[in-house]
Structure formats: structure tokens, C-alpha cells
Amino acid sequence: MDDERLRGETPGLSLREAIRAARMEAAERSGVIVELRDATLARLSMLNELLDPVFAQVPLEHVDLFDRGLMPGEIPRLFIDMVAHVTLARDRRTYRFLQDTRSGRHVLAESTNPNDIVDAVTRYIARRLIAREQAMVGAGVPPEMEAASPQPAPHHPAPTAPATAESRRGSALPFLLGLILGALAMVALAALYPEFTVR
């Protein structure tokens, strides 16, 4: 009698209901993740707009140094160049300006105030510009000669340098090698086809 009564009662929670509840929880979690990602993108987009005047001041010949862009993804980032970017910390309020180096990732600046990050990015850009100018001076190239899109120069034949003994020796070696190989080929032909030899 008790067994019949127990069989007649419906279980407290069916698997179908549990799956439905789990799906709703997953959808809510993913909705929260999407909302957080959208909020992160919005904050980084605002920072990107604050950086517009800074990048407008970069000299045209150095524009190729920087590759600024907002990259959505699992962790949205605002790239300044190939090695530096801004992202948000776990609290979604703190901006972190990071640089990847050979020794690892370094935090260049961290603040909840976007203007602090703009100042840090501005200092970073200034350092990159000075480093490039010093590199060009060290290489003997005037900074004004290096342009992002150089104009083609008129074609002038390069002046020929006077031949030195080493360059003459270097060009004579292939000639002598060819002469020896040709003579060996003639001897081999004469041995194989004696009827063609001159008598």
C-alpha cells in the first residue's frame, strides 16, 4: 500500500526541469558577460576618443610607429602600437596601460581616471618619438628625410667605384673556372668522339 502511494507521487524535480533551469542560468551568466564586455568596450572607446588630439599631434613622418585600434574580444583592448595596449582590470573601472617586453608584461600606468591614462600614453608616445629620432641620427639619417610614404626619387645611375685588386680577383675567379671546365669538356668530347677531332 505504501509502495503504491509512493509510486503515485510525482518526484520533486524532473531532469527536464533541471536542464531548463540550468539553461536559464547559463543564459543569464552569458548575458552578464556580454554586458560586462560591452561596458568595457564603451569605456575603452571613450578613452580612444580622448586620445584623438594626442595622436593628431604626431608628426606625419612618425605615424607609422603607432597602430592604434580598439580590439573587441574576450578581453577587449585598446592598442597603442604593437607592444602597448590599455585594458580594464577585474573591477571594470580601473584602466591598465600595459607594455609587452622581452622580459614580460609591464604595467606603465594604472588608474580609474581616464585622464591619467591619457597622460601616460602621451608620455609613452613622446618616448617612442625621441627613441626613433635618436636611432635615425645614429644611423646618419636626418629625421626630416624619413617619411611615412617617401616620394620616389629620380633615377640616377650609381657611380661606379674604382676596381680594386680584390674585386678584380673576385671577378677573374669565375672566368678561370669556366675556362677550365670548358677545356675539360672538350677533352671529354674528344675522348668519346675521336672521329670529330681535328687531324
pLDDT, tens only, 29-59: 655 566 777 788 889 999 999 999 999 999 8
104-111/84-88 β-pairing = unpaired
pLDDT of the residue at 162: 52
Give every CB contact of residue 59 below 8 A, 6+ residues apart in sequence.
Answer: 129
Confidence check: pLDDT of 21 > 50:
yes
How confident is the model over 92-118, as a mean pLDDT? 93
pLDDT of the residue at 153: 43
pLDDT of the residue at 142: 52
pTM for the whole thing?
0.55
77-79/69-71 β-pairing = antiparallel
The separation between the first and the last C-alpha atoms of the chain, rounded to the nearest angstrom, is 129
pLDDT of the residue at 149: 40
- How many Å apart are CA 115 and CA 50, to the nearest integer? 8
In terms of C-beta density within 10 A (0-12 exposed, 13-18 middle, 19 or more buried), how is residue 192 classed? Answer: exposed
175 — pLDDT class (breaks 50, 70, 90):
confident
CB distance 69 to 55 below 8 Å: no
The residue with greater pLDDT, 67 or 20, is 67
182 — pLDDT class (breaks 50, 70, 90):
confident
Apex CA 95: angle with CA 89 and CA 97, to 5°? 100
Q: Closest Cα to residue 122, out of 133, 135, 134, 108? A: 108
Give every CB contact of residue 45 below 8 A, 6+ residues apart in sequence.
Answer: 70
- How many Å apart are CA 171 and CA 150, to the nearest integer? 36
Confidence check: pLDDT of 152 > 60:
no
pLDDT of the residue at 165: 52
pLDDT of the residue at 154: 44
